[in-house]
Amino acid sequence: MRMSEHELKESLYPWIEKEDIEVFNTLIGEERREEEGLELVPSENYVSRAVREANGSVFTNKYSEGYPGKRYYGGQDFTDAVERIAIARAKTLFNCEYANVQPLSGAPANVAMYFALLEPGDTILGMDLSHGGHLTHGHPVTALAKIFRFVRYKMKNIETGEIDFDELRATALREKPKMILVGFSAYSRELEYAKFVEIAREVGAITVADMAHIAGLIAGKVARNPFDDGFDVITTTTHKTLRGPRGGMILTRENEEYAKKIDKSVFPGLQGGPHMHLIAGKAIAFKEAATPQFQKYTQQILKNAKAMEDVFRREGVRMIGGGTSNHLILADVYGSLGVGGKESQAVLDEVGLSLNMNSIADDTRSPMDPSGIRFGTPAMTTRNMKEKEATRVAELMIETLRNKDDANKKAEIKSEIKEICLAHPVPDSFIN
């Protein structure tokens, strides 16, 4: 049930209210925004109450440089215990031999992985950002591009999302990469991991999968695990579809040498003390993700994404990759509706729908005002919304963009979005 304003303020953050009313007001504002609006950013989600409690727990007080049993400070009995729990659960969840749960987020995890397994100047073959890749996969604006040599592969067919494996193989044979990297931030199809492994073995490259966006789908067994197809290393965030605290993780299938190098790269190579309150939250999230309820949850994520895809196809809105096989959709709103990505993001935010502007493949517009929007269904599904709600939200998205200058229409849509959201509050947990 929805809490009244009085109940909301009485039940949350009592000490912050006493000590810092300015910060308290921002927290209450965000609580209300998340209650009355809907997160459609595919990299965002709502964590359980248990994870939130861990984030604010006593573990935030403790410095724990090093690893369990090998710390540089005393008083580590319980930090060692909680990190060992997180490691054991991560290994079971993703079917691998080694796990480092200390990375502070996804980008630091990737940086640590590069420095562990490569030498400066080594070549990495990764997905082009404009075709769905990620900044940390070698975009020229990043510091990583000054240290390592990145070459890129793309989709062969933008309308189907098919990767050009012939060109990828030719590039690998020509450039002799030390690493072949897969993963994405805006790619809506499942990757054919076995083909990457085949090419990597031909040229003697390490295989790394950045699964930040779909780690939860892998844990829920609705997406393939790259380890099952022979990948060496996985990097990931622990939030997004995994529905844990904001953080990162590096997993190694079976290579102990890689695992030792990764541990040294994370600490002392790049990070100081791990955030033990977040590691406690990760441990909880991994337990949640191992449940039958989580598997049903991830199945519904895909069903909801397909329901939204159906609406966008019916309404003639072009989707990069032709639709979705995972949790996200990248839509060409400028080409289909004549509204740029930046304006679309702002207009949808006005009615209570949060998503992000995003470049599309071979976009002719600026990254600061691209042609596309990126949205997804993890947070919606956390709120127990099903295909009916996903369909209606997609219809309202398009209706909003087609009536972007009609204040009365937008007010009606905002009211309906609020009604849908209040009827589907964020649950404390989906574990009974």
In sequence order, what DSSP letters do the residues of 21-68 get, joined into one string? HHHHHHHHHHHHHHHHSEE--TT-----HHHHHHHTSGGGG----EET
- Extract the runs of DSSP E, i.e. beta strands, from 143-238: 149-153, 155-157, 162-163, 179-183, 206-210, 233-237
Q: Same domain, yes or no, for 267 and 122?
A: yes
Domain assignment present for residue 3? The answer is no
**152 and 222 in a common domain:** yes
> Which of residues 242, 259, 289 is at a domain's end?
289
Identify the bridge partners of residue 67 per DSSP, sorted by sequence position: 70
Looking at 267, 289, 311, the residue that finishes a domain is: 289
Residue 109 pLDDT > 70, yes or no? yes
Residue 401 lies in a domain: yes
Lowest mean pLDDT among 11-20, 168-177, 296-305: 11-20
Mean pLDDT of the 166-193 span: 94
Question: Which contacts (CB < 8 Å, 24+ apart) does range 193-200 have?
Answer: 193/224, 193/226, 193/228, 193/229, 193/230, 193/231, 194/229, 194/230, 195/163, 195/165, 196/168, 196/231, 197/229, 197/230, 197/231, 199/165, 199/168, 199/169, 199/172, 200/172
**Token pair of 332 as six digits:** 């060409």
Does 47 map to a domain?
A: no
Model confidence at 2: pLDDT above 60:
no
pLDDT at 93 over 90: yes
Distance CA 227, CA 220 (A): 15
Domain match, 250 and 209 both: yes
Beta strands 372-376; 356-358: pairing state: antiparallel
Residue 119 covered by a domain: yes
303 shares a domain with 283: no
What is the per-residue pLDDT for 154?
A: 87
For range 86-97, the mean pLDDT: 98
The fraction of the chain above a pLDDT of 90, given in percent, is 88
CATH number where 283 lies: 3.40.640.10
Does residue 41 belong to any structural domain of this protein? no
264 and 382 together in one domain: no
Residues 272 and 311 reside in one and the same domain: no
User: Residues with catalytic annotation?
Assistant: 63, 65, 210, 237, 240, 246
- Report the mean per-residue pLDDT for the chain: 94
For residue 7, pLDDT over 70 is answered with: no
- Taking the CA atoms of residue 187, residue 191, residue 197 and residue 200 in that order, the dihedral angle to the nearest 10 degrees is -30
What CATH number is associated with residue 407? 3.90.1150.10
pLDDT above 60: residue 6: no
| Digit-coded pLDDT (tens) for 246-277 | 999 999 999 999 999 999 999 999 999 999 99
- Shared domain for 406 and 320, answered yes or no, is yes
Task: Identify the pLDDT of residue 242.
Answer: 97
One domain for residues 140 and 188: yes
Whether residues 228 and 365 share a domain: the answer is no
Asked, for residue 45, whether it belongs to a domain, the answer is no
Domain carrying residue 236:
55-289
Quick one: tokens of 237?
A: 């965030």
Q: In the predicted model, is pLDDT for residue 117 greater than 50?
A: yes
Domain boundary among 245, 267, 289: 289
| pLDDT 10s digits, 210-259 | 999 999 999 999 999 999 999 999 999 999 999 999 999 999 999 999 99
Q: Are residue 232 and residue 369 in the same domain, yes or no?
A: no
Residue 148 and residue 138: Cα distance in Å, rounded? 8
Percent pLDDT > 70 in the chain is 97
Whether residue 370 sits in one domain with residue 253:
no
Is residue 130 in a domain?
yes
Residue 18 has a CB neighbour count (10 Å cut-off) of 9
Let me know if residue 21 belongs to a domain: no
Q: Is the same domain home to 284 and 176?
A: yes
Q: What is the mean pLDDT of residues 133-158?
A: 84
Res. 144 pLDDT band, cuts 50 70 90: confident
Measured distance CA(310)–CA(137) in Å, rounded: 31
Tell me the β-bridge partners of 98: 252
Tally of domains within the chain: 2
Residue 1 — pLDDT band, cuts 50, 70, 90?
very low
